[in-house]
Amino acid sequence: QVQLMQSGAEVKKPGASVKVSCKASGYTFTSYYIHWVRQAPGQGLEWMGIINPSGGSTNYAQKFQGRVTMTRDTSTSTVYMELSSLRSEDTAVYYCARGPGGGGGYWYFDLWGRGTLVTVSS
Amino acid sequence: QSVLTQPPSVSAAPGQKVTISCSGSSSNIGNNYVSWYQQLPGTAPKLLIYDNNKRPSGIPDRFSGSKSGTSATLGITGLQTGDEADYYCGTWDSSLSGNWVFGGGTKLTVL
C-alpha cells in the first residue's frame, strides 16, 4: 500500500550527526516531493525542508541551512535527512511527508511517515 | 512564536460545532493556499483540508475549510469524542527566504 516507512529511533550525543531514512512505496517515487517536519516534545510542527526526488533539488528552511542535508536514492525509493552539530534542542520526532510538486504556494502534505524519535543527550 | 496564530484550545460538547481560526498576513495566508492537519495523541499528523477548502478522499464532510483575506478557518460539525486532537494550519510564507509555516496548533477537547 501507499506508505512512507521511516527508520528507527536514535540516541545521539551533542555535536554528533544523525541520518534518518524514509522509504516510499505504493506510488511513483519521483512524482511527489518529500518534506521533513519535526516536533519537539509537547511542541508544535516545524518544517525543515523539502527534496524533489526527481532531480534531487532541495530547499531548506533558513533555520536549518548549513546543518541539514537531504538526499535521495531513486533505486530504493528512499529519502534521507541528515542533521549535524546536534544539540539538546534537536530532540524531537522527525517526520517525512509527501506532497505535490510545484511552487510552495501549492504545497500540502497528504501522506506522512510514522516519525522517528531522535534524542540528543550526553 | 508562530507566524500563523491559532487559539491554544477550543472545546465543545459532542454533536456540536466548533471552528478553529488561523490568522496570518498577506505574505502567507493572504496569497497562498492553506491546509489543515489533525494529530491524534501519539500519532503522525493527517491531512484534513488542502487548497483552503478541499477534502482528501476519506475525510468526512463534517470537516470544512474556508479562507477570507489573511485568515482561515477549520470547521467541524457533529463533534465526536474521536475528534479530540491537536489541529494545525499551514501555508507557504513568501517573505524572507521563503518557508512553509505552521500555526502553533489548537487542542480540541470534546466535553
Q: What is the pLDDT of residues B10-43, one digit of tens each?
A: 999 999 999 999 999 999 999 999 999 999 999 9
Q: Which of B3, B96, B99 to mutate to test the interface with A (most CBs of A within 10 A)?
A: B99
List all residues 6 or more positions away from B105 whose beta carbon is below 8 Å from its beta carbon: A44, A45, B6, B8, B39, B86, B87, B88
Counting residues of chain B whose pLDDT is more than 90, the rounded percentage is 91
Per-residue pLDDT, B78: 97
As to burial, measured by CB atoms within 10 angstroms (0-12 exposed, 13-18 middle, 19+ buried), residue B59 is middle
Counting residues of chain A whose pLDDT is more than 90, the rounded percentage is 94
Per-residue pLDDT, A89: 97
Q: How far is A17 from chain B (nearest CA, A)?
A: 24
Which residue numbers of A have CB closer than 8 Å to B's CBs? 35, 37, 44-47, 50, 59, 61-62, 95, 97, 103-115
Q: What is the pLDDT of residues A9-48, one digit of tens each?
A: 999 999 999 999 999 999 999 999 999 999 999 999 999 9
N- to C-terminal Cα separation, chain A: 39
Report CA-CA distances (Å) from A54 to A94, B55, B88.
22, 27, 29
Give bridge partners of residue A84 from the DSSP assignment. Answer: none
Rounded Cα distance, B34 and B103, in Å:
11
Per-residue pLDDT, B97: 64
Rounded Cα distance, B99 and B92, in Å:
6
| Residue B7 touches chain A, beta carbons under 8 Å | no
Per-residue pLDDT, B1: 76
Residue in A62, A110, A113 nearest the CB of B47: A110
N- to C-terminal Cα separation, chain B: 28
Question: Would the CB atoms of B2 and A44 count as touching at under 8 Å?
Answer: yes
Q: What is the pLDDT of residues A80-90, one digit of tens each?
A: 999 999 999 99
Is pLDDT above 90 for B45? yes
Question: Would the CB atoms of B47 and A107 count as touching at under 8 Å?
Answer: no
Is pLDDT above 90 for A108? yes
- The mean of the pLDDT values for chain B is 95
Q: What is the pLDDT of residues B46-76, one digit of tens each?
A: 999 999 999 999 999 999 999 999 999 999 9
Per-residue pLDDT, B95: 84
Per-residue pLDDT, A68: 98
Contact (Cβ atoms closer than 8 angstroms) between residue B10 and residue B18: yes
Q: What is the mean pLDDT of residues B89-110?
A: 90
Per-residue pLDDT, B86: 98
Rounded Cα distance, B37 and A107, in Å:
13
Tell me which residue has cell 517573505: B95
| Nearest chain A residue to B3, by CA | A46
Q: What is the mean pLDDT of residues A2-12?
A: 97
Residue in A61, A105, A112 nearest the CB of B45: A112
